[in-house]
Amino acid sequence: MKFLDEAKVFLQSGDGGNGCVGFRREKFIEFGGPDGGNGGRGGDVIIEAVANLNTLIDFRYQQHFRAPRGRDGSGDNRTGKSGETLVIPVPVGTLVLAEDKETVLADLTRVGQTVVMAKGGDGGFGNTHFKSSTNQAPRRADPGWPGEEMWVWLRLKLIADAGLVGLPNAGKSTVLAAVTRARPKIADYPFTTLHPNLGVVHQDGREFIIADIPGLIEGAHEGAGLGTRFLGHVERCAVLLHLVDGTQEDVGAAWRTVRHELEAHGHGLAEKTEIVALSKLDALSPELAAEKVTELARVCGRPVLAFSAVSGQGLAPVLRALGRHVDEARANAALEASAARTLDDGQDPDEDRVWPDLARVPSSEEEPETP
């Protein structure tokens, strides 16, 4: 399966059905009067986050989505059938952006969460609706209201608890293969990883998801190398494991390069908890490894772990450190969610449905502005 994390799609809800002009024609019923029914409502377009999807590759082969229109009304006061709702499944972690690629319309972070992107048009009134004491035989029926249409961008940001960052060939894919059942491509040349990979770590009775993104180079925040597209996949991570290749000549410069790109990218990456680790310990002598660790700790100003993903030396402490931060982040998220539920006493029962604020309509309680 190919990986695709961005796609542009066209959405169109269904038009409403037309109203009907009809009159009763039964025998022995004089002046039967109007009986034209209303048109049916057009179908909505809904985007839903589902499990078991981790790519937007399906939207490479289909970019246009149109919901069916409502049926027209008919005689005997029969309302037309409403158009069926069109549900578009996307992976969890998908952002829905406006055509300008900046305005966020929805952020789907939970399985089952939905957002109504385009509402179907209302059906037109039949002539029965216009019957009154002064107009007992109306011949007016309204056409259905048109649906909504728009172009939107879908951008996937993987949901992971921990993220692996570092320069190309720092050993990120080797770590992922060593601690999970994922099988990323591993080779002794840079940019072996061309798209993010996910794996599940089982450690000390806990489970957490770890993400490996392609290596960063200087200028990545401006689009150099594989650019900023893959930096977004670690924005949702609770902790970052910053790998520095121990075989490099200047480990301090390697750490500063990646750190600068994280800070320049923004979106809270620089504020995330960072665990710095010296990789490829099996390729260093004990004396050289101690020297590299000391130098790296002096540059980054924090304790540095050293390990080898090939031999497994020092790998357990790294996983325990990641697990502790993941547990803390989950506990904080649970407390925040509990506090939000406590404060929100008037919660909508359909809490998973999101209505994007495309055009704010003033409530009836607000005073209209005077010109």
Annotated binding-site ranges for Mg(2+): 173, 193
Question: Which tokens in the block code for residue 294?
Answer: 């000391």
Q: Give every CB contact of residue 83 below 8 A, 6+ residues apart in sequence.
A: 14, 40, 41, 42, 43, 67, 68, 69, 70, 71, 120
Strand pairing partners for 34? 23
Reduced to 3 states, what is the DSSP secondary structure of residue 274?
Answer: strand
Q: How far apart are CA 112 and CA 94, in angstroms?
A: 12
Q: What are phi and psi of 76, to 5 degrees?
A: 65, 30
Q: Give every CB contact of residue 308 below 8 A, 6+ residues apart in sequence.
A: 279, 280, 281, 282, 283, 314, 315
The amino acid that residue 314 corresponds to is G
Distances 135 to 140, 280, 343, 370 between C-alpha atoms, Å: 11, 88, 53, 37
Q: How far apart are CA 90 and CA 152, in angstroms?
A: 13
Cα angle 291, 297, 298; round to 5: 90
Question: Are the C-beta atoms of 181 and 115 separated by less than 8 Å?
Answer: no
Residues making up the binding site for GTP: 166-173, 191-195, 212-215, 279-282, 308-310
**How far is C-alpha 3 from the geometric centre of its chain's CA atoms?**
15
Residue of 144, 114, 115 lying closest to 41 (CA atoms): 144
Helix H or strand E segment including 328: helix 315-343
Please report how many Cα atoms fall inside a 13 Å half-sphere around the Cα of residue 29, on the Cβ side: 8
Residue of 43, 11, 84, 109 lying closest to 352 (CA atoms): 109
Residues making up the binding site: 166-173, 191-195, 212-215, 279-282, 308-310
Q: How far apart are CA 270 and CA 260, in angstroms?
A: 9
Q: How far apart are CA 148 and CA 105, in angstroms?
A: 15
